[in-house]
Amino acid sequence: MDFYLQKLLKRAPHFYAWEKDYKMRGELWRGPSVSFSFQDFLPAGAKVLELGCGDGKTLTSLIASGFKVTGIDVSPSAIKIARKKAGRKAKLVVGDVCELPFAANSFDAVVTVHVLDHLSQKERGKAVVEISRVLKKDGLLFFEGFSQNDFRFGNGLTVERNTFRRKNNVWYHYFSVAEVKRLFKGFSAVELREECVEKTRQRVKRCVVKLIALWKD
């Protein structure tokens, strides 16, 4: 194990769990990204940062929309997979969303789809500070996280309020709309809503909270 991974395992085992999963299983997420219609909000050529880009599912959608894309993920194995998909069409960085290695006011938009769900409360606060720092004024935030009304709420061992650790050591936090509003209180919401999809065959309801917001500070 190299020094980076040793340090990650010691500091944040729930972050290291992603590296272990990607290294063992390879590509985890398949199919098209359906979280947002980014091109409806951003012009071609916009500089977009994706936090927790993983193996490139949303990243490839951003590239196809004509944006100048940078992706960051804590897992080197995930970045390796994403690089095979993106080629030279995106800048990819191994790093921590709580300590972004980018200059202030660097991006027109930041995308975080099911990333802050996997952090502790303290880490989410740090990530929001970093998102605010790297966004340009009037830059856009695209956030999606699991809702407390999702059928998987409560699965695993409770580690914090509404946060559960599963057997693979990955943490899952479930948001309310009000919590997301508080978390991004420095932003001006364009859209904020809960979205649920009924999976009739499985007789379950999958729910997320989505936010599109402007950074005004």
Domains and CATH numbers, the chain: 3-26+43-215 (3.40.50.150)
Question: Which residues neighbour 60 within 8 Å (Cβ) at sequence distance 6 or greater?
Answer: 33, 85, 86
CA separation for the pair 127, 113 (Å, rounded):
13
Half-sphere exposure in the Cβ direction for 186 (13 Å, CA): 15
Question: Which residues neighbour 207 within 8 Å (Cβ) at sequence distance 6 or greater?
Answer: 146, 147, 148, 149, 150, 151, 194, 195, 196, 197
Query: Do you know the residue count of the chain?
Result: 217
Taking only the tens of pLDDT, the chain with its 217 residues reads 687 888 888 888 999 999 998 888 867 766 666 689 999 999 999 999 999 999 999 999 999 999 999 999 999 999 999 999 898 899 999 999 999 999 999 999 999 999 999 999 999 999 999 999 999 999 999 999 999 999 999 999 999 999 999 999 999 999 999 999 999 999 999 999 999 998 767 678 999 999 999 998 7
CA separation for the pair 110, 211 (Å, rounded):
12
Rg value, the chain, Cα: 17
CA separation for the pair 72, 53 (Å, rounded):
6
